[in-house]
Amino acid sequence: KTRVAILISGRGSNMVSLIEAAKAPGYPAEIVLVLSNRPDAAGLAHARSVGITAHAIDHRAFPDRATFDAALDAELRAAGVELVCLAGFMRVFSAGFVEAWAGRMINIHPSLLPLFKGTHTHAQALAAGVRLHGCTVHYVVPELDAGPIVAQAAVPVRAGDDPDSLAARVIVQEHRLYPAALALVAGGGARLQGDRVVIEDDGAAADAAL
């Protein structure tokens, strides 16, 4: 099984969905480490409660981005991590860190990329008047929310939606999508070729996963 670390900054509901999925015997990844840049992240306690090593590396204790990223990198390597999943990790990395983990780090973003990068994605979608919104799992590249796309799920935008109601509809799909996408990446069903993701089996395996 692929050794996976999950990086969080807060609630950690996507982290929980990955941990739950990884309990299945045939799942190709095991969650070996959870790290947060915020000591108060609620997800840390949950991870520990299910026996996963979890701790904070408080970014405020480091003089700059590169030093924090080096500490993160050292923890990941010490734990033998092969693949990193960002799950609500709200901190931008230095280019060096992203390059060190190129092709081995994925993120979930709450919009149908390349639309609505950055924060407040649900408000952005409502302001744009789109009728479909959703979430994306993508490989991480130095440019924010710009990496090759592994998988997406869409939801309708309904009359009367506000950012909270839309977020609630999207998060349900995030919790389905991320475990499926991680299974594809860790199981070799998706791989990076240049700046594209190649899905090895576009038929049954991908359908079953998604």
Q: Which residue, 10 or 96, has its beta carbon nearer to ligand GAR?
A: 10
Distance of alpha carbon 118 from alpha carbon 19, whole angstroms: 26
The minimum distance between CB 120 and ligand GAR, in angstroms, equals 9
37 is in an annotated binding site: no
14 is in an annotated binding site: yes
Catalytic residue among 46, 55, 59, 109: 109
Residue 16 CB-density burial (10 A; 0-12 exposed, 13-18 middle, 19+ buried): middle
Q: Which long-range contacts (C-beta less than 8 Å, at least 24 apart) are formed by 140-145?
A: 140/86, 140/93, 140/98, 140/101, 140/105, 140/106, 140/107, 141/98, 141/102, 142/93, 142/95, 142/98, 142/99, 144/92, 144/117, 144/118, 145/107, 145/109, 145/113, 145/114, 145/117, 145/118
User: What SS3 class is residue 20?
Assistant: helix
Distance of alpha carbon 71 from alpha carbon 89, whole angstroms: 16
Q: Which residue, 88 or 147, has its beta carbon nearer to ligand GAR?
A: 88
The minimum distance between CB 144 and ligand GAR, in angstroms, equals 8
Q: Which residue, 117 or 201, has its beta carbon nearer to ligand GAR?
A: 117
The minimum distance between CB 203 and ligand GAR, in angstroms, equals 28
196 is in an annotated binding site: no
13 is in an annotated binding site: yes
Does residue 122 have an active-site annotation? Answer: no
Residues of this chain that interact with ligand GAR (CB under 6 A) are: 8, 10-14, 87-88, 108-110, 171, 174
Q: Which residue's CB atom is positioned nearest to ligand GAR?
A: 88
The minimum distance between CB 202 and ligand GAR, in angstroms, equals 25
User: What SS3 class is residue 64?
Assistant: coil
Task: Please enumerate, by residue number, every residue annotated as part of a binding site.
Answer: 12-14, 65, 107
Catalytic residues: 109
Task: Please enumerate, by residue number, every residue annotated as part of a binding site for (6R)-10-formyltetrahydrofolate.
Answer: 65, 107
